[in-house]
Amino acid sequence: MAQIHVAHLRKYYQVHEKEPGLIGSLRAFFARKYRTVKAVDDISFDIEAGEIVGFLGPNGAGKTTTLKVLAGLLYPTSGEVRVLGFEPFKREHAYLRQFTLVMGQKQQLMWDLPPIETFLVNQAIYEIPDAEFKATLRELDELLELGPLLKKQVRKLSLGERMKCELAAALLHRPKILFLDEPTIGLDVTMQARIREFIAEYNRRHGATVLLTSHYMADVTALCERILVIDKGKLLYDGDFRALIERVAPYKIMRLQFDQPVSTEQLMQFGEVESNEGFTATLRVPRAQATEIALRLLAQLHPEDLTFEDPPVEDIIRAVFAGAVPAEVLSARATLASAAAAAPAQM
């Protein structure tokens, strides 16, 4: 069986609706009206050991809910969920020892104390032998450059420094599975890159499985070969990330800066002009020919600066929603999934 197995997962919430104003409050007090929110609505996927999978979707799509179900913090409404052979919501200690969930917004480090104190408590809770604890700490220190941070009070650390320590605290017990919910949220670009490199390195060294959600395309581009796209609780795409980009966003964004205004006509020879404000311009160029076009443009227009960006993740999601993904991509996956479900003996 796959390391993470999710079949027809549903998580519905009953939320009570309250009309505004005093009358509304009174009415709600005597007769509450409930509405069902389908946070996750029939999702199935399997993740094998060692995969890094990106979980993409707009706010409220159901990403965090799914992660919480996998981490045993939420009880599913229906469906089958198995991680490492455990049913997460039973929260058996044997399961809790083997994964970690890092939520960019919620911390486990004790606010008033240096991170090392939390580390030592985690060592005791997870029963990590001294030698292993030291080795892990040394490795995390080398990858994340924790050094002086370990003895500073958490409340005196910057957001980025805190995130590094949070990650370290979450990884001391060398989990086999990492659930990362927006691990780079609010961090500056350099720090985002550091965290990304770290996640990739951790995956390489320990063969850990990573399932991460992110708003940043760069996180996903750098780390994930496979992505799951989810919206309104439904899984819209499950498959190869590059293939998806090639299909729905086969272009790159080229940002240009000039020391003298350039006309739109001049720019049009190189690609589709998204904007031109004289000194700065943005072009869309075909992904495959991006380098060649850049060289030509450098030679002819002498820009002061030229940078490439991937299209924003929102564009890709929008394209998926708009049905830009050919049906066969989705159905191929669906067929695989149902074939696997039909032949449990092989798993």
Partner 1 sequence: MRHWLRMYGALLRMGWSTVMEYRAQIVIWMTNSLLMVTMMLVWLGISSAGPVNGYTSADFVAYFMIGWVVRNLTAVWVSWELDYRIREGKLSPMLLRPMHPIHHDIAFHWAEKGLRSVIVLPIAALVLLLTPNAPLKLDVPTLLAFTVSLFMAWAIKFMIDFSLGVLAFWLSQASAFFEVFYGLTLVLTGAIAPLAMFPEAIQQALWWSPFPYMLSFPVEIALGRITGEALTLGLGVQAAWALLCTAVAALMWRLALRSYTAVGA
Q: The sheet that has 272-276: what strands, in order across it?
A: 272-276, 280-286, 251-257, 305-309
101 binding partner 1? (CB under 8 A): yes
Residue closer to partner 1, measured from CB, 13 or 321: 13
68 binding partner 1? (CB under 8 A): yes
Query: What is the SS3 assignment for 48?
Result: coil
220: buried, middle or exposed (CB in 10 Å: 19+, 13-18, 0-12)?
A: buried
β-partners of residue 11 are 40
Nearest CA-CA partner of 70 in 105, 108, 40: 40
Task: Figure out which of the listed residues 18, 49, 60, 75 binds partner 1, where binding follows CB under 8 A.
Answer: 75
Residue closer to partner 1, measured from CB, 112 or 265: 112
Binding mask 107-126 for partner 1 (x = CB under 8 A): xx-x-xx---xx-xxxxxxx
Residue closer to partner 1, measured from CB, 106 or 344: 106
The DSSP string of 291-340 is HHHHHHHHHHH--SEEEEEPPPHHHHHHHHHTT-S-HHHHHHHHHHHHHH
Give the binding range for partner 1 (CB under 8 A) out of 73-81, 200-208, 237-245, 279-287.
73-81
For the packed helices 115-125 and 159-171, what is the interaxial angle rounded to 10 degrees?
A: 20
9 binding partner 1? (CB under 8 A): no
Residue 225 CB partners (closer than 8 Å, separation 6+): 51, 52, 240, 241, 242
Shortest CB 64 distance to partner 1, Å? 10
Give the binding range for partner 1 (CB under 8 A) out of 88-96, 196-204, 318-326, 333-341.
88-96
Rounded CA gap, 23 and 280, in Å?
55
Q: Are 86 and 70 in contact (CB under 8 A)?
A: no
151 binding partner 1? (CB under 8 A): no
Binding mask 305-324 for partner 1 (x = CB under 8 A): --------------------
Residue closer to partner 1, measured from CB, 186 or 261: 186
Residue closer to partner 1, measured from CB, 115 or 239: 115
Q: The sheet that has 78-83: what strands, in order across it?
A: 33-47, 4-17, 78-83
Residue closer to partner 1, measured from CB, 137 or 285: 137
Give the binding range for partner 1 (CB under 8 A) out of 79-87, 101-109, 222-230, 287-295.
101-109
Q: Are 195 and 184 in contact (CB under 8 A)?
A: yes
Residue closer to partner 1, measured from CB, 17 or 246: 17
For binding to partner 1 (CB under 8 A), which residues are involved? 13-14, 68, 71-75, 89, 91, 93, 96-97, 100-101, 103, 105-108, 110, 112-113, 117-118, 120-127
